[in-house]
Amino acid sequence: MKQVLFLYNPQSGKGKIEKDSQAIGEMFRQAGYSIVDGPIDFSRNPFNGHETVDLVVVAGGDGTVNYVVNRMKEKHLDLLLGIIPAGTANDFAGALGMEKNPVKAAAQLLGGTEERVDCGRVNDHYFVNIFSFGIFTTTSQRTPDKRKHQIGKLAYLIEGVKEFRSVHGIPLQILADGKAFDLESLMALIFNGETAGGFHLAPRSSIKDGMFDCLLLQRRNMLFSVVSMLRHLLGGRPSQVKHFRARTLDITSPINEPTDVDGQKGADFPLHIECLHNELRVVCPLSEAPRRGRFAYFKNLISKLAWWRTR
């Protein structure tokens, strides 16, 4: 009988996953799995005593997935992962094509197929979706769980506005796939996936191409910076947003700027960042090929515009 380790974070999203956990567990039992389930304990490695399970199902947000992947790599394991979105943004689950409803996502896992996808690593930290630093990038670390449960993604925007008081440029020396350049940046986003906090900032990115999509917002006045990022979101190519692709990056700075990996505290400078091609085994829905690219970006943008028209 196949064994599944089902880990869920009861604090993720609006805390609803705990109610769904019994139904999800029963679905796997009826499918013939022997299941070990329970809320994830962030004070210990969840793979202790479970190194040989056939499937690891993770229900939570990107931070929960990040924790599980790092603990798995800590034990040098290559286990099959199934992701159930139960957080606020669920960027990595979205890149895999998972349904937003946890029970429907569980059904996708039972009828899905195994794929290999990329994973990032910065120094000794693994990340599944994004590594970042600079303005707004550590917002998720400071956003209270209670506020995220109450108002969802809007909580990130409210917390991010507070950062305008401490805006500063970060002098960087960058070596990207052997090409060196200097830049003073307000923000750096290194994408394995294509979204951050649910916002499509790297619509051409793919979790299967062995490359990062990198966005650096060069320092100018704040109004011009905001306008440039909005233009980028709408598909433009403002000169202030430096966009390039790379497999490896080495970044140094005289400032030890705080960094973020998938919404969690990241590595210290200097930084060595590499895309690990086909590093993770994951279950993907049969109807989805990771990932949807620019079509999904425009579909998402149109839906948002339609929503605003009804307000």
167 vs 98, more confident: 98
Cα–Cα distance measured from residue 291 to residue 50, given in angstroms and rounded to the nearest whole number = 30
- pLDDT-derived band of residue 297, with 50, 70 and 90 as boundaries? very low
Query: Could you say which DSSP state residue 128 is in?
Result: S
For the chain, the average pLDDT equals 85
* pLDDT, tens only, 82-99: 999 999 889 999 999 999
- At 216-273, the pLDDT tens digits run 998 876 666 667 766 766 667 777 889 999 999 999 999 999 999 998 999 999 999 9
Q: What range does the domain containing 226 cover?
A: 124-276
Question: Is the residue at 59 inside a domain?
Answer: yes
Contact by Cβ (8 Å): 45, 5: no
Q: What is the CATH number of the domain that holds 299?
A: 3.40.50.10330
Is the pLDDT at 149 greater than 80, yes or no? no
Q: Are residues 241 and 298 in the same domain?
A: no
The stretch 74-85 carries a mean pLDDT of: 98
> How many structural domains are present in the chain?
2
- Tell whether 225 is covered by a domain: yes
Confidence label for 151 from pLDDT (cuts 50, 70 and 90): low
Q: Is residue 310 part of a domain?
A: no
**Do 151 and 269 lie in a common domain?**
yes
Q: Which of 61-75, 107-121, 154-168, 297-311 has the lowest mean pLDDT?
A: 297-311
Question: What three-state secondary structure class fits 57?
Answer: strand
Q: Does some domain include residue 119?
A: no
Residue with the bigger pLDDT between 162 and 61: it is 61
Measured in whole angstroms, the distance separating CA 101 from the mean position of its chain's CA atoms is 18
Predicted confidence (pLDDT) per residue in 173-198, tens digit: 999 999 999 999 999 999 999 898 77
List all residues 6 or more positions away from 224 whose beta carbon is below 8 Å from its beta carbon: 240
Domain match, 166 and 189 both: yes
The pLDDT, as a whole number, for residue 204 is 83
The pLDDT, as a whole number, for residue 225 is 67
Is the pLDDT confidence value at 76 over 70? yes
**What pLDDT score was predicted for residue 271?**
98
3-state secondary structure of 311: coil
| Domain identity same for 178 and 89 | no
pLDDT tier for residue 294 given thresholds of 50, 70 and 90: very low
**pLDDT: is 33 or 238 the higher one?**
33
- Answer whether residue 118 is part of any domain: no
Does a structural domain hold residue 288? yes
Q: For residue 180, give the CATH number of its domain.
A: 2.60.200.40
Confidence (pLDDT) at 15: 78
Contact between residue 250 and residue 272 where contact means Cβ atoms under 8 Å apart: yes
Residue 154 pLDDT > 70:
no
**Do residues 132 and 271 share a domain?**
yes
Helix axes 17-30, 102-110, angle to 10 degrees: 20
**97 in the same domain as 158:** no
Residues 56 and 142 in one domain: no
Q: What is the pLDDT of residue 171?
A: 97
Q: pLDDT at position 302, please?
A: 43
Least confidently predicted of 69-78, 150-159, 232-241, 270-279: 150-159
- Asked whether residue 116 is domain-assigned, the answer is no
Q: Are residues 263 and 156 in the same domain?
A: yes
Question: What pLDDT band is residue 293 in, cutting at 50, 70 and 90?
Answer: very low
Burial class of residue 274 in the structure, from the number of CB atoms within 10 Å of its CB (0-12 exposed, 13-18 middle, 19+ buried): middle
- What's the confidence (pLDDT) of residue 231? 72
Checking if the pLDDT of 308 tops 50, the result is no
**Do 174 and 270 reside in the same domain of the chain?**
yes
Same domain membership, residue 291 and residue 201: no
Q: What is the predicted pLDDT for the residue at 141?
A: 56
pTM: 0.84
Same domain, 271 and 213: yes
pLDDT at 160 over 70: no
185 domain residue, yes or no: yes
Tell whether 95 and 171 lie within a shared domain.
Answer: no
